[in-house]
Chain A
Amino acid sequence: MSLTLWGLKKSPWVYHVALSPCNNCDIEILDVLTPRFDVERFGVKLVGSPRHADALLVSGSVNRHVLPRFVELYKQTAKPCVVFGIGSCALTMTMFRDSYNMVGPLDKVVKEIDPNAIVFYIPGCPPKPEAIILGVVKALNSL
C-alpha cells in the first residue's frame, strides 16, 4: 500500500455538497459530525473549502439546475478524492427519476467529468448516522 493511499484512508477530510436535497440527509450528515458519533476517531474532519477536501459527501439527486455548479466544484477539489453519494436520491433519484429535470445517478455524472473517479453510495432515506459511518469506513477500507 502506497504512503499516499494510507494518508488518504487515515485522514479523509470531508466537504458537504448539497445538490438540492430535501435536507433529511444533510441533517443526518451533520449528526455524524457531532461529538456523540466522534468521527475524528477515523481522522474525519469537516472542511469549508473543496480545495482541502478528500471526500465529497453529496446529498440529493443531480438535476440540470445544479449540474454546472457540481462540475465546477468537482474540478476544484484537489485529486485524489472520493465521492460519497449519501441517501437514495443520489443513487436512484427515487420519486423524481422520470422527471424531465434529472441528469442521472451520481456515478454517471461524476464519471463524465473524470473517468477515473471513485464513487461510493450509502443508500437510505435518510441513512442513519451509524450507517453513514459504517459505509464510509467500509468504503475507505476497500480502496
Chain B
Amino acid sequence: MLQSGIRSLVIFVVFSFATLVLGLITSWVDRKVTARVQARKGPPWFQPVADVVKLLGKETLVPEGSGRAVFLYAPLFGLAGMALAASILGYVLVRPEIGFVGDIVVLIYLLVVPAVTLILGASASGNPIAIVGASREMKQMLAYELPYLIVIATVIYRSGLDLRLGSIIQAQTAGGWHLWSLSGIIGFVVLILSAQAKLGLVPFDIPEADQELMGGIITEYSGPPLAMIKLQKTMLLAVLPLFITVLLMGGISSSGAGIIWGILKYVVIVVLIVLIRNTNPRVRIDQAVKFFWGPMTVLALAGLVFAFMGW
C-alpha cells in the first residue's frame, strides 16, 4: 500500500515537472515564432523562466474588499488540477496499457479546473474589470466546451466505445490514425479552434483582452499567485497539443524513431496554434459564442454522424 503510494507520488512529480519544462520550452517557441512572424528577433531562450522567477520574487498585493482566501488559493488549486491532468496524460502516453476505465472523463474534468479557478479568483478580487473578464471567461467556456466534447465523443465511438485513453491510442496503433478520415479531419479543425479558446490565445483571448480589459481576469494578481497562473497556462499549452495527438494522431510512442515522429506531431500542432494566433484579430464575446454554438457545433455533429456511418 505504502509502496504504491510512493510510486504514484513519484509519477505525479516526474510527469508534472516534465510537462512544466515542456510547457516552458513551448511558450518560448510560441513567443519566438510570433516574433519571426512580425519580423523581429524575439526573446532569448530563458525568457519564460526569467518571467516566472521574477514573479516569484515579487510582493503579493491583496486588494481591499476582496475575498482573501479564495483570491489567494484559486491559482494554487488551478495549478494542482493542471499538474494532475498532466501526470494522467503523461503516464498514459508512456504506457498506454495502464489506465483505468473513465480516465478520459477525469482528464476532461481536470482540464476545466484552471478556467473555473480563474473565474473564482477573479470574482473574489472585487475588481469590476476582473469581474467583466470572469463573466466573459464563463460564457466562452460554455461556448467551446460543447463542440469540443462532441469531438471527444466521436473519437471514443471510433475507438470502440472504450472510456480509456490507453485504448484510444491502441485502437489507432492497430487501425491507423483517426485523423485520416472525414470525421477525423472535421474533429481536428474543431479541436484546434477549441484549444485556441481554452488556451485564451488571440482570436479568443476575450477574457484577458489586454487592450480593453487590461489583463481582465488576472488584473488584480501580482507576484507568486500571478506566477502560478502563468505556470498553469504554460502547462495547458503543453497538455492540450499532447491531448490532441492522443485523440487523433495515435499519441507519442516511446520507442526509438517513435519519439522523433511524436515530437514532429507536437511541433506541427503548436506551430499551427501559434500561426492562428498571429494571423487573426480578436472577436467579440457574442461572436465567439455564436461561432462555437453555430458552425463549430454543427460541424462536430456532422463529424459524429460521419463516424456512425463509418467514414
Hey, which bits of chain A sit against chain B, CB under 8 A?
3-4, 6-8, 10-11, 35, 38, 40-41, 43, 47-49, 51-52, 54, 76, 78-80
Contact = CB atoms under 8 A, between A and B. Distances in A.
Contacts, number: 88
A132 B42 CA distance: 19
Interface SS majority for chain B: loop
B36 to A, nearest CB: 11
Top 5 A-B pairs, shortest CB-CB distance: A48-B214, A7-B54, A4-B57, A7-B53, A10-B50
Most buried by B among A40, A43, A80: A40
A7 B56 CA distance: 9
A41 B222 contact: no
12 contacts: A7-B55, A7-B56, A10-B46, A35-B35, A38-B42, A40-B47, A48-B213, A48-B215, A52-B222, A78-B60, A79-B59, A80-B59
Contact of A41 (B43, B57, B226): B43
Interface of B: 31, 35, 38-44, 46-47, 50-61, 210-211, 213-215, 218-223, 226
Contact of B31 (A3, A7, A40, A48): A40
A6 B222 contact: no
A78 B61 CA distance: 7
A11 B51 contact: yes
Interface hub of A6, A48, A76 (most chain B Cβ within 10 A) = A48
B61 A51 contact: yes
